[in-house]
Amino acid sequence: TARNLFLLPGDGIGPEAMGEVRKIIAYMNEAMNAGFVTDEGLVGGSAYDAHGAAISEGDMQKALAADAVLFGAVGGPKWDSVPYEVRPEAGLLRLRKDLQLFANLRPAICYPALASASSLKPELVEGLDILIIRELTGGVYFGEPKEIIDLGNGQKRGIDTQVYDTYEIERIAGVAFEMARTRQNRVCSMEKRNVMKSGVLWNQVVTETHKAKYSDVQLEHMLADAGGMQLVRQPKQFDVIVTDNLFGDMLSDVAAMLTGSLGMLPSASLGAPDGKTGKRKALYEPVHGSAPDIAGKGVANPIAMIASFAMCLRYSFNLVKEADDLEKAIANVLDKGIRTGDIMADGCRQVGTVEMGDAILAEFKAL
């Protein structure tokens, strides 16, 4: 049976990075009979240029129908002053919301070959392996009212609303506990219960979910500001971190930066398993942005995009061996000292996007 992938390369370096994934897909179809069928659409600024929206209805339908969406990156100075409703990010936010991708998995892994690239002392990040589970369809990102009101007299009021319901917290906590069981079995939940009522509820529901179904997992609670501190101070104390949409945005970016390899970090955004088929809607996306300053120059690091495809193999198609091999191929290439500009180091060989993709594919073939 066909495996349907919908590709949304987006803006900036998105298309270049996606090009390297395409080669791996083609190879897997040819040599492994993987049966991937790909279609492609527009998202972000490129969608806006083509039809005045950050993603078209047609492409939304395709995304909804696909087994998995591969997403590049969106945004750039060209679209800095388009109306708020059609800004590039709106395409990504709509995909998350309409596909109900409530669980965002962001591994922060420090590749041994890159430990020295971190701004932290190497001994603090060597072997780092954190999984941040960020709630992705709730909170202040989507709560209403969300508006700017004109109060007269030159005064305006900007309003956003943070909203969390019990079931939303329960299901994301469930994902975190399940994931923890496949790892070191430890979850740290972060909120600001000392200031936010949604934080009070978050804390209660995580505690109850733990008690009811996951009491074998070790659970800790931390205030989100202290959590940010501890990530910088002693990142290896964490295994799985579960947190809300906005804190997850901040904390996962801090965690990503600790690894010294932002250009290498993937993410997966998953929906609930379908009642009948058990399949989850899913979108895979590098953590880095569109990097307009280096777009089109053939120098972007495609590793985060390729690693996102590895997550896709694992979570959407249960191709665990292939996922492991692809991740191993990336590590091997790094061990050989092959580097794009963003992770270049003394004694290494600097290559461009295509050469990096080729090197990883060659390793993948050889495994």
Ligand X SMILES: CC(C)[C@H](C(=O)O)[C@@H](O)C(=O)O
Distance, CA of 327 to CA of 329 (rounded, Å)? 5
Report CA 118 to chain centroid distance, whole Å. 20
Phi-psi region of 295 (alpha: psi -120 to 50; beta: other; left: phi over 0): beta
Q: Consult the annotation and say whether 98 binds a ligand.
A: no
Report how many residues bind its own copies under the rule CB under 8 A: 59
Q: Site for ligand X (CB under 6 A): which residue of 13, 92, 219, 231?
A: 92
**196 with 188: CB under 8 angstroms?**
no
φ/ψ of 226, rounded to 5, equals: -65, -35
Could you tell me which stretch among 89-97, 146-154, 275-283, 333-341 binds ligand X (CB under 6 A)? 89-97
**Nearest Cα residue to 130 out of 310, 251, 217, 249:** 251
Binding mask 248-287 for ligand X (x = CB under 6 A): -x--------------------------------------
Binding mask 193-222 for its own copies (x = CB under 8 A): -xxxxxxxxx--------------------
Catalytic residues: 141, 192, 225, 249, 253
**Nearest Cα residue to 284 out of 325, 323, 254:** 323
Report CA 30 to chain centroid distance, whole Å. 28
Residue 94: CB partners within 8 Å, gap ≥ 6?
54, 55, 60
Give the angle 363-353-361 at the CA atoms, nearest 5°: 20
Q: Consult the annotation and say whether 285 binds a ligand.
A: no
Q: Could you say whether residue 80 binds ligand X (CB under 6 A)? A: no
Q: Consult the annotation and say whether 178 binds a ligand.
A: no
Known binding residues? 76-89, 96, 106, 134, 225, 249, 253, 289-301
Residues in touch with its own copies (CB under 8 A):
75, 84, 87, 89, 93, 119-121, 124, 140-141, 143, 146-148, 151, 154-167, 192, 194-202, 224-226, 228-229, 231-234, 246-247, 249-250, 253-254, 256-258, 262
Residues in touch with ligand X (CB under 6 A):
89, 92-93, 194-195, 225, 249
Known binding residues for substrate? 96, 106, 134, 225
